[in-house]
């Protein structure tokens, strides 16, 4: 199995550490790039050149500084070069309006972060198993 390139867009330092640790526990080798606000994420995608390190998957928080996760999602999905990139909303928000807006903007799935650390690690393992071992991700 080839390693995949994951883009994590998250502003909460604790959630960043937990996510990185959860992926590390899985023993799979993945490259994870962390961006801490929505503006950084949009700039990242705007600056991708042909043949550049396009992420295979994006883990995106809804509530981000500068530009919301919803706007980042729209930016990714409305761009011909990036629209096939799987985007997973990984957020503390369980608000129905956030879930509906995410799916309206073509999110691939919406996951509410468990509060319990053990449950969070298990959820990340399931996300990784599904999106890395089961799903076929578009080639770059």
CATH number, domain of 46, equals 3.40.50.2300
* pLDDT of residue 58 exceeding 70: yes
Pairwise CA distance, residues 110 & 88, whole Å:
6
* pLDDT of residue 26 exceeding 90: no
Buried b (16+ CB within 10 A) or exposed e, 126-138: ebbeebbeeeeee
Which residues span the domain enclosing 100?
5-134
**Neighbouring residues of 78: CB distance < 8 A, sequence distance ≥ 6:** none
Give the end-to-end CA distance of the chain in Å, rounded to a whole number.
Answer: 16
* pLDDT of residue 137 exceeding 90: no
* pLDDT of residue 49 exceeding 80: no
Domain assignment of residue 139, yes or no:
no
For 55, other C-beta atoms within 10 Å of its C-beta total 25
Instruction: Give pLDDT, residue 2.
Output: 63
125 — pLDDT class (breaks 50, 70, 90): confident
Whether residue 8 contacts residue 19, with contact meaning beta carbons closer than 8 Å, is answered with yes
Q: Which of 27, 33, 20, 19 is nearest to 1 (CA)?
A: 27
**Number of folded domains that form the chain:** 1
- C-alpha distance from residue 33 to each of 70, 71, 120 (Å): 19, 19, 19
Pairwise CA distance, residues 4 & 26, whole Å:
13
Question: What is the percent of the chain with per-residue pLDDT over 70, rounded to a whole number?
Answer: 90
Pairwise CA distance, residues 67 & 37, whole Å:
7
Task: Please state the rounded mean pLDDT for residues 84-113.
Answer: 94
Q: What is the pTM of this model?
A: 0.89
């Amino acid at each position: 199995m080839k390693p995949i390139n994951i883009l994590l867009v998250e502003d909460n330092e604790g959630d960043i550490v937990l996510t990185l640790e959860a992926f590390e526990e899985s023993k799979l080798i993945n490259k994870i790039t962390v961006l801490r606000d929505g503006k950084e994420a949009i700039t990242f995608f705007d600056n991708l050149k042909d043949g550049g390190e396009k992420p295979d998957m994006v883990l995106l928080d809804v509530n981000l500084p500068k530009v919301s996760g919803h706007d980042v999602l729209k930016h990714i999905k409305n761009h011909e070069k990036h629209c096939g990139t799987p985007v997973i909303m990984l957020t503390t928000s369980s608000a129905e309006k956030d879930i509906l807006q995410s799916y309206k903007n073509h999110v691939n799935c919406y996951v509410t972060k468990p509060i319990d650390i053990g449950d969070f690690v298990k959820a990340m393992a399931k996300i990784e198993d599904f999106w890395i071992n089961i799903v076929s991700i578009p080639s770059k």
